[in-house]
Amino acid sequence: MSATDTVVILDFGSQYTQLIARRVREAGVYSEIHPCTVTAKEVAAMHPKAVILSGGPSSVTDADAPPFDPAVFDLGLPTLCICYGMQLLAHHQPGGAVAASTDREYGRAELTVLADVPLFAGLPDGGSRTVWMSHGDKVVAPPAGFVVAARTKNVDIAALANVERRMYALQFHPEVAHTEDGERILHNFLFGIAGLTPGWTMAGFVETELAKLREKVGEDEVVCALSGGVDSTVVAVMLHKAIGKKLHCIFVDNGLLRLGEGEEVAAYLREHFALNLHYIDASKLFLGRLAGVTDPEQKRKIIGTTFIEVFEVEAAKLPKVKYLAQGTLYPDVIESVSFKGPSAVIKSHHNVGGLPEHMKLALIEPLRELFKDEVRKVAVELGMPDFIIWRHPFPGPGLAIRIIGEVTEERLEILRRTDKIVQNELQASGWYRKVWQGFAVLLPLKTVGVMGDGRTYENVAAIRVVDSLDAMTADWSRLPSELVAAMSNRIINEVKGVNRVVFDVSSKPPSTIEWE
């Protein structure tokens, strides 16, 4: 960790918990999310400079409300309680009361500030401001020692303040962009009230992380599976900077990559970082095993197990290797359903397709404290080029799950050329960075067309371009029709074997982003 000041966020299951953590980090303060089941003693042992209680979907009066140790309120730490957190405060502090209600208030509300408290310092005077609400219950009596600091039309007690104890509560969500002055309110809490020093920068992170990596690895060696995506490339470059040739990167070319992609990433890494790169061309093995296979799950399984096999064979040639480096990110680490208690499942991740335990390698995960946007900032810090930093996500099974039906060399070639045009046109029009992901899919379908004077009977390709924040949900991107037309014209004119192009207008759910 590069910063000494840490904010601990207790997670009660709100969809916005990660957003709170990101807002705090954007303010230059390191924050960590912990499940609400941690005790006050455990929180104290983390030595945070402030605590934030998140919102959550439960009701404090429910029999199965998430477990919480109210002694957290007695730690003497600056505390900000948001939404469900506010109800917890009122529920557990003497004199406070919460009324259960079945109607939820969701969306914008107009907030009127009632008290001149440090949390609202510098907010433009008078009138009201828009805030984002999402709650069922509400506080109906303030705990002893707390003043009511704001109200909305529907909520008489929309904010609570105990200036002396540096404890505050908000019924609305300051972390959400729709809340006017939300950033000011959070900054007031972090800097004005808790007196934190912003010290969390990506440059600082890189510096301390490199030192930690050097110390941890010592004289041992590390292996890393490089996919060409931003996460694994950043991991490789960081480790290379830390331990040089003691890092071995294995790039498995499964023959299912986009046009020129494997070579492009490998060449870049070799040229700029003199990386110890083991480029394994296993495409024949993969394609051989995929011959005749049309079932999507079977394709995925074959590719996953073949990857592990190839990786193991290569790693076995490196006897000094003790560690496996992975690009695990913070969202993979946080318990996703934390409020159900310590037994809750931790999200598994499959960055390298889940390597078998018998490999007995200890894990090194230098990005496990970071969000995706922070990884991109690290990449900038490391001097990496845009084509790696902003590369769209690409699935492990590669083009195999974008060729519906059997995967053959010939169909791969058609899809690669088609996909390249989609990529080129997205980039040339400036849309590449605006969308989450854009690619082509090859359908197992032939249709009739006419070219010149002749009849054609060729393949149909689909264009899939989506907007998304986290790939959990997605909507098809409203690209300008001229851009779609340019893609279609070029594909039909330039790619032999395609005579029809369709545009996918499905959202997720119920469709998925990939077609298989």
Joined tokens for residue 361: 């390698």
Task: State the catalytic residue, choosing from 175, 209, 374, 458.
Answer: 175
Q: Which residues bind ligand XMP (CB under 6 A)?
A: 393, 395-397, 437, 471, 508, 512-514
Q: Are 291 and 406 in contact (CB under 8 A)?
A: yes
Choice among 91, 135, 173, 248 that is catalytic = 173
What is the crossing angle of helices 296-316 and 283-290, to 10°?
A: 150
Shortest CB 502 distance to ligand XMP, Å: 18
Q: Which of 292, 117, 295, 90 has the alpha carbon at shortest distance from 193?
A: 117
> Contact 66/73 with Cβ under 8 angstroms?
no
424 Cβ contact list (under 8 Å, min separation 6): none
Give yes or no: 36 in active site: no
Q: Are 307 and 396 in contact (CB under 8 A)?
A: yes
Q: How far is the CB of 515 from ligand XMP (least distance, A)?
A: 8
Nearest to 66 by CA among 39, 94, 37: 37
Residue 276 vs 418, nearer CB to ligand XMP: 418
Closer CB to ligand XMP, residue 138 or residue 299?
299
What does the alpha-carbon distance between residue 151 and residue 379 come to, in Å, rounded to a whole number?
44
Nearer of residues 145 and 395 to ligand XMP, judged by Cβ: 395
Residue type, 313: V
Alpha carbons 474 and 105: distance in angstroms, whole number: 25
User: Which one, of 281, 79, 101, 221, lies nearest residue 160 by Cα?
Assistant: 79
| Closer residue to ligand XMP (CB): 35 or 398 | 398
Closest CB 514 distance from ligand XMP, rounded Å? 3
Q: Does the annotation mark 425 as catalytic?
A: no
Read off the tokens for 105: 């208030």
Picking from 265, 266, 202, 199, the residue whose alpha carbon sits closest to that of residue 238 is 202
Task: Select 101 or 512, whichever has its Cβ closest to ligand XMP.
Answer: 512
Catalytically annotated residue among 81, 83, 224, 249: 83
- DSSP single-letter state for residue 474: B
Give Cα separations from 167 to 30, 73, 143, 192, 465 (angstroms): 20, 8, 11, 13, 46
Q: Which is nearer to ligand XMP, 130 or 506 (CB)?
A: 506
**H or E segment and range at residue 499:** strand 498-503
**Catalytic site includes residue 187:** no
Q: Is 316 left (phi over 0), alpha (psi -120 to 50) or beta?
A: alpha
* 242 vs 400 by CB, closer to ligand XMP: 400
The set of catalytic residues is: 83, 173, 175
